[in-house]
Amino acid sequence: MTLQTNGTILDSATIDTPVGPFTILAGPDGAVRAAGFTADPAVVLAVMHPSLRGESRQRRELGPVTAAVAAYLGGDLTAIDDVPVRQHSGGAFMSHAWQMLREVKPGQPVTYTGYAALAGRPAAVRAAAAACARNAAALFVPCHRVLRTDGKLGGYRWGLPVKEWLLAHERRG
């Protein structure tokens, strides 16, 4: 699969986690543009909005971004909270919903209904679910903290075992 890029150079780093490799793509400004539980930067690039894509350059680490992930994995569950994220949403609700998702505390997951309410549109449960589905910055925009209305896990782009591990890790913290 060939993806169009905009000529920007993106820095890429892959970190080993207890549930497998985690790859982060960051822009020249250091903001995370996409991240996911895979060793393949091309897979992460594919979930990024086309306007933010660039050529990926592999790095050993990304300074404060990879340090924040290491701290999170080590038990400092708020270490990722201040990492800048840049996503393209195509609309005000999606951007706002992603920001509200970053305010869901570790160990305190919400349902899609609760998430819709947090985003200011209690009846927009499907829109809240779409915000989770379109989120390219896994972990940093913690869509893993959203559960089905019946309290079950629901889906997760990077697999339910990863979502289960993240939720259990945050409960332990």
Which one, of 153, 161, 163, lies nearest residue 112 by Cα? Answer: 153
Cα distances (Å, whole numbers) of residue 141 to 1, 8, 76, 82, 171: 26, 23, 16, 11, 18
Is position 132 annotated as part of the catalytic site? no
Q: Which residue out of 25, 119, 129, 143 is catalytically annotated?
A: 143
Strands 20-26 and 54-58: unpaired
**Active-site amino acid positions:** 143
